[in-house]
Each structure stands twice: as C-alpha cells, then as structure tokens.
A and B are shown apart, each in its own frame.
Chain A
Amino acid sequence: MTTAELQLPTTSAATLSLSKTMKALAYHGPGKRAWGDKPRPAIQDPGDAIIRITTSTICGTDLHILKGDLPAVTDGRIFGHEGIGIVEQVGAGVSQF
C-alpha cells in the first residue's frame, strides 16, 4: 500500500491554528440555508479526525434536505456527505485509514 506524500504548506498550519471559526453551509429549516461562520471542529473522541476540505460536491440528497424532506435534520446542521481533503489532526485512537 502506498500513500500520497503530501505536505501542508507551513503558512497554512500556522494561519489555521489561529482561527477558531470556519465558513460552512448550514440548514435553517425548509428552503433556508446560510453560508457563514461556524465554530471550527475539534477532536472530541479518540477515533476522530479533523479534515481540511479541499473539494466537495452537491448531491441530490442535499436538495431533498434543503426542501425539508428529511425531518431528522436539525437547525444549523452543516450540509454535505461527499468530499476529499487533507488530514489536519487525528485523535489518539486513530490508527490506520
């Protein structure tokens, strides 16, 4: 198994560590969404990883959620279930992807 040899630009890590917020698209009830500041996620469980998203995409399911077809989605929930990114941080219990 080979893994990509990727390096974070040093400036990126330094800049990001100062910021406690991020931009995200959140659901605010049927037909309502907002692109705005949300708290940046942090490790909460040893099995977690924090990923800096580089590419994501929109799915038909996101439009269903936006319409209010999935009532289990709560106010403020950030959209999206597809994406690729760079690992920023891993919890102590993360061993191997």
Chain B
Amino acid sequence: MSNKSERESLSSKVGDGVIISCVTACLKCDFCKRGMYSHCRRGGWILGYLFDGTQAEFVRIPQADGSLYNFPAGSDEADLVMLSDISRTGFECGVRNGQVTPGDTLAIVGAGPVGLAVLLTAQFYSPAAIFMIDLDDKRLAIAKKFGTTTLVNSSDGKAAQRVMDLTDGAGVDVAIEAVGIPATFDICQSIVAAGGRIANAGVHGKPVELHLEKLWDRNMSLTTRLVDTVTTPMLLKVVRSGKLQPGKLVTHRFPINDIMKAYETFANAAKEGALKVVLTNGQSQY
C-alpha cells in the first residue's frame, strides 16, 4: 500500500490539466475489463453525441477516473488535443489493427487528419514503403512532408491499378481505410496483398460491396474498430519524448467565440487547406 503522501500525489486535483478522452470509460464493466473502452456499458463514445460535449466553456465528464488523463507539464497543447481522438484512432484502428511490421508496404487511403495520424504513428514500426492515396494534391503534399514515400492521386479512378503496378502486382501488406466511403474501401480491397490486412478506420454511413469472390483465397484479414483509447498512456510518453508531434496537423486556430467561422473553415477543408482546426478558450494556462 502506498503511504498518504503518495496517495495524495496520485489523486486528481482541482486545477490539474487534463486531456478529455473522446471515449468515456467506467473501467469496471466487462468491456472495459477487456480493454474495449469504446463499448463501455456506462460510456463508450457518448461525448458530443449522446451527452453534452467539449465545444463549450465547460463540460461535465462522467466516469472521470477512466475518461481523463493528466498531462505532463510543459506539453504542447496542440499535441495534447490531438490525443483526444485522432492520434489514437489512427494508431489503434489503423496501425495496430493493421499490424504494421518493419519492412511492410503500407497504403493509407485518405490524407485527412486520421490518415495523417496513421502516417505519423505507422512510422514507429519502420514500414519500407508508405503509399498515400487521396484526391487532393494539397493534402498529398503535406503527406509527403510527413514521411510518405509514394503519393498517389486517385482523382482519375486508377489509384488501385497504379499501386498494383508500383508493387509489381503484389499489392500492399497493409491497406488502411481512413475516409469512410465505398470508393475508398474498394481501393483497399483491390490492393491488399496475399497475407495482407485491411484495417478500417473510416466512419461509414453506406454499405460497401465486399468482393469475397476475389478475396476468399488471399489469406487476408479485415478489421474494424471504434477507438478504445487504451494506447493513450503510451502515446503520451511518445509525445513527451518529442518523437510524435501530432500538433503538426493543426492548420488553423480560432478563439472559441469564433466557432461559427471555424466550422466554415473546417467544412471547406480542401479550399482552405485545413486539417485540424483548434479552438481556444481564454488564456492558455500552460
């Protein structure tokens, strides 16, 4: 048992700086005990969805013990807010589920914030080649800066063929879907190599056509996941070391009173060159 002062230093305090997890976790239910916070019986993804969220001056966070993370002093606030959701979604749903391994050939479909978070965190594992597939040359240029080895503009509808040509017909070991529409899922199923993995990170609103007639003998696997946020402590350490700087994805900052303008900028992301749009409330404390 820890002594009193240790207990005090561990306990949460008013005035602490915290990262709010996009997923609320009670840490006690059967799903939480399996590390599947996304399906917590008392939480999961509720914030800004079924429960009042964070685009406000104040927020009530239920199950606070499992849903807040103290952050280290001196951290960059842009890096921290990227840990609320996108860094972990890219890492858990994309990189981890795709089992990116040293030497792999990796394709990321979609160079939006989540696809770029996949790009940043996939490099923990030294893939040999990283293809980034997107319609927008501006986003592809950013992806190039962040470590992509080969850019593929998909606006001519021939992205899958180009990836197959570039891999001598083999395809890629890991294809990560980071958009959430049938066209981007189709690219993934067309380019996955024998023995490969498709990891879906996109939020889909429409059915896709699964080409099992082509995939049944490919020894491939397909995974889906809602971010569980279980890698937060690990990612915090990597951010603290400076080896992961997800704050690079922030392109625009607005005071929270200008939130309507911020939404317009983010909704016209291609025209505005926007990735992550950050809202600040009052003076930063750190």
A interface residues, Cβ below 8 angstroms from B: 1-8, 22-25, 33, 35, 38, 40-45, 47-66, 69-70, 72-73, 77-91, 94-97
Q: A6-B15, A6-B285, A87-B16 are in contact. Are A41 and B48 (CB under 8 A)?
A: no
Q: A64-B203, A64-B205 are in contact. Are A82 and B62 (CB under 8 A)?
A: no
Cβ proximity bits B228-266 to A, threshold 8 Å, 1 near / 0 not: 000000000000000000000010000011011011001
State how many angstroms separate the Cβ of A13 from the closest Cβ of chain B. 9
B68 in contact (CB, < 8 A): yes
Interface size class of B (residues with CB under 8 A): 35 or more
A40 to B59, CA, bound (A): 8
**Which segment of B70-78, B141-149, B156-164 sits at the interface?**
B70-78
Question: Do A33 and B263 have beta carbons less than 8 Å apart?
Answer: yes
Please give me the 8 A-B residue pairs with the lowest Cβ-Cβ distance, nearest first: A24-B56, A80-B55, A83-B54, A82-B84, A49-B64, A41-B60, A80-B53, A80-B54
From the candidates B11, B114, B282, B286, name the one contacting A95 in the complex (CB within 8 A). Answer: B11
Question: Do A23 and B57 have beta carbons less than 8 Å apart?
Answer: yes
B278 in contact (CB, < 8 A): yes
Q: Which residues of B contact A78 (CB under 8 A)?
A: 48, 52-56, 59
B58 in contact (CB, < 8 A): yes
Question: Do A51 and B18 have beta carbons less than 8 Å apart?
Answer: yes
B280 in contact (CB, < 8 A): yes
State how many angstroms separate the Cβ of A62 from the closest Cβ of chain B. 7
Q: Which residues of A contact B56 (CB under 8 A)?
A: 22-25, 38, 53, 78, 80
A38 to B58, CA, bound (A): 10
A8 to B286, CA, bound (A): 11
B69 in contact (CB, < 8 A): yes
Question: Do B49 and A81 have beta carbons less than 8 Å apart?
Answer: yes
Q: Which of B52, B56, B57 counts the most chain A CB atoms within 10 A?
A: B56
Question: Do A65 and B48 have beta carbons less than 8 Å apart?
Answer: yes
Question: Do A42 and B282 have beta carbons less than 8 Å apart?
Answer: no
A95 to B10, CA, bound (A): 9
Question: Do A97 and B69 have beta carbons less than 8 Å apart?
Answer: yes
From the candidates A22, A35, A77, A81, name the one contacting B85 in the complex (CB within 8 A). Answer: A81
State how many angstroms separate the Cβ of A42 from the closest Cβ of chain B. 7
Question: Do B277 and A55 have beta carbons less than 8 Å apart?
Answer: no
A4 to B18, CA, bound (A): 9
From the candidates A23, A81, A84, A94, name the one contacting B17 in the complex (CB within 8 A). Answer: A84
Q: Which residues of A contact B11 (CB under 8 A)?
A: 95-96
Q: Which of B20, B47, B113 counts the most chain A CB atoms within 10 A?
A: B20
Q: Which residues of B contact A48 (CB under 8 A)?
A: 60-62, 64
Q: Which of B9, B19, B49, B77 counts the most chain A CB atoms within 10 A?
A: B49
A89 to B, closest residue via Cβ: B14
Question: Do A3 and B256 have beta carbons less than 8 Å apart?
Answer: no
